[in-house]
Structure 1
Amino acid sequence: MDSVVTHVVAALAVVIAASHAAGAVARKLGQPPVIGQLFAGIALGPSLLGLLPGGVDEKLFPDEIQPVLTSLAQVALVFFLFAVGYELDLGLLRHQRAVTAVSVSGFVLPMLLGAGIVLLLPGGFAEVNDGRPVDATFVLYMAVALSVTAVPVLASIIKDQGIAGTRPGTIAMASAGVIDALSWPVLAVVLVGGDHGSVREWLVKAVLLVVYLLVMLFAVRPLLGWWTRRPGVTAAHRVPVAVSVALASAWATNALGLHVIFGALLAGIIMPRLPDGSPDARLLGPLQDAGGLLLPMFFAISGMAVVLGGLHGSDLLILAVICVAAVVGKVGAGALSARGARQPWRDALLIGVLLNTRGLTELIVLNVGLQAGVIGPRLYALLVVMALLTTAATGPLIRVLRRPAGVPPVARGLPDARPGPEAAPPVAAADTAPSP
């Protein structure tokens, strides 16, 4: 046990330091930190560190500590998804025609393309997926893998690029939230479909899942609301309760054959908010800090599972097909639907480019598929490369679309980094008139 603890402490030091340094380099290059952190994970795995003589990667990350590192990564995901669920706000969907159009098309078209490329090239995908069957579960999984957008990474990019509060930035953020809210249930269906148990086992799990949902919605949620309204309850009391609820909910969904992410997400959704409907920053802050500190372990585990040396030359064709389908599905759907909602072409293209950001959310989906055995190491590596390429392309494409064309950014309806009255008009105007 002492040896395991020693290796875990050393591994944590290396992973956190490498991830922080790589994330800082990525930010200096105009990229979101997740790009650098994932590259750090890949570098610490067999693709780079494993090439050094003496088995450095195996000495630093021996097999006996892998369960501990994986557990830390799962805890980080629980905190992260709880925060995502707690911040989730679908209010704009009820009021914005543009958000509705972009959300639906940005979810449906990528799913159709994801399923379509598998049905058109079943032999190629079966070969790159190490002979796994190209069945309905796999087709639906590929559809989900191409449909998600990384809301946290997108929020960071929008802030860094100075387009927060503008019509394109707000529409893209709201639409991405709706798209991911639609994607999680479909991913749950994939996991259920991949469970080849008996009909009796399925029925038992389905009943238990319904019971779990009813308890969370009609027992835990009212109880949390009553408890948080009690006099004298402070943030110091709320944080431990929120962590306990998130972990217990994650355990429940994982025990039912789904994944910890679903329970954590639902726990965040049912957590009571402030009277004005906004998240409590005193509760959200500590969970985000803890998740951010542990999240490098998730990137390390994700990166170490990428074995670039195991790819074949023929896999590049499948990678090209996946990337084209991913870009066309997101950029095309987002741009055309935004244009149909009376957005100017430049704004519409910007919305499509923003939706093409995958990053962290895509990695979660890919890890779920790898753990469930729906995809193998080779296809996993290709999909990780696709996520890196599409996310890394977002910043440069935004800068191209914002390049001056003889008209100031505000006059074009494009973002102005300055706060205050000079900023672009609110998104609500997008339903009644095009951008000035």
Structure 2
Amino acid sequence: MTSAPPVTELFLLALILIFSVPYLVWRLCRTDHWAPLVVVQIVAGILLGPGVLGAALPGYYTLIFTPQVIGALNGIAWWAVMLFVFVAGLELDFREAWRSRRDTVVTAGLAMVMPMALGAAVAAALLRFGNPAAWMGPKGQDWQFVTGIGMACAVTALPILVLFLTKLGILRSPLGQRILRYASLDDVIIWGVLAVILLDWERMGRQAGFVIGFGAAVWAVRRLMIAIPKRDRWYCALVWLAACGFLADWSGLHYMVGAFLAGAALDASWFDLDEMDQFRDVVLLAFMPVFFLSTGLRTSWEIGGYAIFGVGLILLAAMVIGKLAGVGLAGRILGWKKGDATVIGWLLQTKALIMIIFVSVLFDKQLITSATFTALLLAALGSTMLTIPMVSSRILQMRPEE
């Protein structure tokens, strides 16, 4: 009887699968126009998870993805997603949002409220006409479930949006900067609402202490960042990130709420813009694929694939219709030129990582079931795959902005 391979070898085999499979599919099938590498990596995570590979080849799956290997991968995934969310918070530019506050508030508000309302309606229908236990987690309350699903439908994936704007060549253009402002304000509101959803009334003392302590710590860290040499800021930022994640999790919130707040508390101008772009790209390339696999491990088809796919399609429709309707209404109110609302609406509806991260938090806290998580994951994938095909031709038709 042969002994099982060492954990280190199994871990490296898992990494080979994680990094090679999506890259080969993306490169050989030339999916970049309709399915960027990020999307292919997420799909690969689902395929390598227990719902597909585990069901088809249970022997190979249990051999490679042992509890020790999954534990090691989860550690990388936690830190990867904290880094990613931290950079998303760092991207926020509150000063520019304030200078264009009417345009920003009207657009971001409508772009969030409309899909949130439609998503919340879908969630309420699942509770009213379906089996609540199949969709709502054991620790969830109706208002948490409905609000959480609604906010998930309103999310814009800010880091992926940056990548798409870069790919389309409009990141530094006036249009690109407008889109980033809208997405940034929505991100602040959405993470704030998530913190409210996650309030643990048994830990209110800890959470109040976190809020008070965070305010004092922000004042101290900002003074420190200004005082230290520029070369030391990234290192100090990582210590700050880990501390915020730990304290947020300890207080009963989620470590990702802490990660976002850690980034939002700092000024992007303190860091070199090219270095920040490179940092985000390295995290996306070297670490985030591990998070995608851990996402795939959470997928479930227990209540039937047709039901999950059906709910996923309904949620996708709520996301897209709500975002386009909200941005279209904002364009009418603000008198935008023809074509702007369509392009902005399609770009803002991309969900990808931030929505997956958002619903991962809901799943971790047992506010939603694995079936709901899977339906939302499928909707996020569909949303992201639609973005570039729907926008690229419209960008070419638009007049370059002065």
Report the TM-score when normalising by structure 1.
0.82
Q: Distance in 2 between matches of 1:5 and 1:41?
A: 20
* Amino acid corresponding to residue 249 of structure 1 in structure 2: C
Q: 2:135 aligns with which of 129, 132, 137?
A: 129
Q: 1:115 aligns with which of 104, 115, 120?
A: 120
Q: Distance in 2 between matches of 1:370 and 1:314?
A: 19
Mark the CA change 1:209 to 1:240 in structure 2 (over 3 Å): closer, same or farther.
same
CA deviation string 1:339-379 (max 9, x = no partner): 32111342211111111101111110111111111111111
1:225 aligns with 2:217: no
1:159-170 to structure 2, matched below 5 A, reads 159-170=166-177
Mark the CA change 1:169 to 1:27 in structure 2 (over 3 Å): closer, same or farther.
farther
1:397-408 to structure 2, matched below 5 A, reads 397-402=390-395
Mark the CA change 1:209 to 1:50 in structure 2 (over 3 Å): closer, same or farther.
same
1:10 aligns with 2:16: no
Uncovered stretches (5+) of structure 1, i.e. residues with no partner: 404-408, 416-422, 426-436
Q: Distance in 2 between matches of 1:285 and 1:163?
A: 15
Q: Distance in 2 between matches of 1:207 and 1:398?
A: 44
The farther-off stretch of 258-267 and 346-355 is: 258-267
- Counterpart of 1:295? 288
Would you say the 8 A contact 2:225–2:233 is kept in 1?
A: no
The alignment of Structure 1 onto Structure 2 pairs a total of residues equal to 394
Mark the CA change 1:168 to 1:219 in structure 2 (over 3 Å): closer, same or farther.
closer
Mark the CA change 1:203 to 1:366 in structure 2 (over 3 Å): closer, same or farther.
closer
Mark the CA change 1:282 to 1:242 in structure 2 (over 3 Å): closer, same or farther.
farther
Q: 1:356 aligns with which of 339, 349, 367?
A: 349
Mark the CA change 1:286 to 1:156 in structure 2 (over 3 Å): closer, same or farther.
closer
Would you say the 8 A contact 1:26–1:36 is kept in 2?
A: no
Would you say the 8 A contact 1:86–1:268 is kept in 2?
A: yes
* Amino acid corresponding to residue 116 of structure 1 in structure 2: A
Would you say the 8 A contact 1:26–1:32 is kept in 2?
A: no
1:181 aligns with 2:182: no
* Amino acid corresponding to residue 129 of structure 1 in structure 2: W
1:86 aligns with 2:90: yes
1:155 aligns with 2:172: no
1:267 aligns with 2:262: yes
CA deviation string 1:10-50 (max 9, x = no partner): 22232122344345456534433211110111111123322
* Amino acid corresponding to residue 144 of structure 1 in structure 2: M
Would you say the 8 A contact 1:85–1:269 is kept in 2?
A: yes
The Cα of 1:299 is off from its aligned counterpart by 0.8
The Cα of 1:320 is off from its aligned counterpart by 3.3
Q: Distance in 2 between matches of 1:179 and 1:35?
A: 22
The farther-off stretch of 64-73 and 8-17 is: 8-17
The Cα of 1:294 is off from its aligned counterpart by 1.0
Mark the CA change 1:76 to 1:332 in structure 2 (over 3 Å): closer, same or farther.
same
- Counterpart of 2:71? 67
Q: 2:234 aligns with which of 217, 230, 239?
A: 239
SS in 2 for 1:47: coil
Would you say the 8 A contact 2:350–2:387 is kept in 1?
A: yes
Q: Distance in 2 between matches of 1:163 and 1:283?
A: 19
Would you say the 8 A contact 2:137–2:367 is kept in 1?
A: no
Q: Distance in 1 between matches of 2:311 and 2:133?
A: 10
- Counterpart of 1:146? 153
1:103 aligns with 2:108: yes
Would you say the 8 A contact 1:42–1:306 is kept in 2?
A: yes
- Counterpart of 1:77? 81
- Counterpart of 2:205? 204
- Counterpart of 2:251? 256
Q: 1:347 aligns with which of 340, 364, 367?
A: 340
- Counterpart of 2:388? 395
The Cα of 1:88 is off from its aligned counterpart by 1.5
Mark the CA change 1:163 to 1:309 in structure 2 (over 3 Å): closer, same or farther.
farther
SS in 2 for 1:28: coil
Instruction: Give the % identical residues.
Output: 26
The Cα of 1:247 is off from its aligned counterpart by 1.2
* Amino acid corresponding to residue 270 of structure 1 in structure 2: A
- Counterpart of 2:51? 47
Q: Distance in 1 between matches of 2:111 and 2:238?
A: 33
Mark the CA change 1:402 to 1:242 in structure 2 (over 3 Å): closer, same or farther.
closer
* Amino acid corresponding to residue 225 of structure 1 in structure 2: I
Q: Answer 1 or 2: which has greater helix percent.
A: 2
1:380-391 to structure 2, matched below 5 A, reads 380-391=373-384
Q: 2:401 aligns with which of 424, 428, 432?
A: 424
Q: Distance in 2 between matches of 1:372 and 1:8?
A: 27
Uncovered stretches (5+) of structure 2, i.e. residues with no partner: none
Report the TM-score when normalising by structure 2.
0.89
Would you say the 8 A contact 1:80–1:287 is kept in 2?
A: no
1:280 aligns with 2:272: yes
RMSD: 2.6
CA deviation string 1:383-414 (max 9, x = no partner): 001001111111111145357xxxxx3xxxx2
* Amino acid corresponding to residue 220 of structure 2 in structure 1: A
CA deviation string 1:237-272 (max 9, x = no partner): 333222222112211111112122222222223335
